[in-house]
Amino acid sequence: MKIRRTVAAIAATLLPVVTAGTGQAAGAAAYECTANHMCAYAWPGGDGERIELLFAVEDLGTWKGGVLNDQISSGWNRSPFPFCFYVDSQYRGERYQSAPGSSGWFPHNDAYSSIKRGSC
């Protein structure tokens, strides 16, 4: 009896760990990005609405009803090229260059309106 109680206690202890593991799996889904693309996300940490680019978008206001216009907070550049993010459409305004292979938080949070492959 004493042994069975111990096993039950361990099982109860492990249960929250399993739940946490499920949470980690959801976290691992963040930063989804097709190889060789520049991916940008609405939320920090590579989560939320995502755009995957090979070259450019001149006005995020016209992409998917503007769902990512002035919304991008993070990205993952899986391409071999730098990408330039602009706070205004038509590749104007303040800018941020995402280096090949880099990922993480972007400055100008919730401001980007156009993106183009190449150095800023």
Question: According to CB under 5 A, which one of 113, 114, 115, 116 is a site residue for Ca ion?
Answer: 113
User: By CB under 5 A, is residue 71 in contact with Ca ion?
Assistant: no
- CA-to-CA distance for 82 and 80, rounded, in angstroms? 7
Q: Could you tell me if 72 and 30 are in contact, meaning their C-beta atoms sit under 8 angstroms apart? A: no
Looking only at residues 73 through 92 of this chain, which bind Ca ion when binding is defined by CB under 5 A? 87
User: What is the length of the chain?
Assistant: 120
Pick the stretch among 20-28, 39-47, 67-75, 100-108 that binds Ca ion (CB under 5 A): 67-75
Strand partners, 76: 39, 103
Question: What does the longest C-alpha to C-alpha distance in the chain come to?
Answer: 73
User: By CB under 5 A, is residue 58 in contact with Ca ion?
Assistant: no
Of the pair 38, 78, the CB lying nearest Ca ion is at 38
Strand partners, 38: 53, 77
Of the pair 19, 90, the CB lying nearest Ca ion is at 90
Residues lying near Ca ion in the complex (CB under 5 A) are found at: 70, 87, 111, 113
